[in-house]
Amino acid sequence: MSERISPHFRRGEFACSCGCGFDTVDHGTLEILEATREHFGVPVTVTSGCRCPEYNARIGGAAHSQHKVSRAADIQVKGVDPDEVHDWIDANFPFVSLGRYDTFTHVDTRSDGPARWDG
């Protein structure tokens, strides 16, 4: 199993889904996910972390996606509606960029943010 990088997350959870080995995560993004896990008290699943440029293009990701620079994660919090997750992160981390989707919440720590959008 991959190396633990925080109390609740392992490096492999952020790995590019294509299997290329890209598995870096921005410290600020990791801190927000860890705080989210602590607040809700249930597992936080990273459904998309790092993306190499090829994988990002293959799945139709944005050209300047923060996933490509290890500053983004799409997450699901077990048993918690994504709207509730979005609203809690927004209230507690106003500097973070957030995307609201039906089944997950996008979190990123871009330097030219914060950005907000609905997917």
Statement: residue 50 has pLDDT above 80: yes
Instruction: Report, at the CATH architecture level, how domain 11-118 is classified.
Output: 2-Layer Sandwich (3.30)
Residue 24 three-state SS: coil
- pTM to 2 decimal places: 0.95
pLDDT in tens, 51-108: 999 999 999 999 999 999 999 999 999 999 999 999 999 999 999 999 999 999 999 9
Between vectors from CA 78 to CA 36 and to CA 89, what angle results, nearest 5°?
25
pLDDT cut 90: percent of the chain above it: 97
pLDDT at 119 (0 to 100): 86
Is the pLDDT at 1 greater than 80, yes or no? no
Q: What pLDDT, on a 0 to 100 scale, did the predictor assign at position 2?
A: 81
Of the two residues 67 and 113, the one the predictor is more confident about is 67
**CA–CA separation, 84 vs 74, rounded Å?**
15
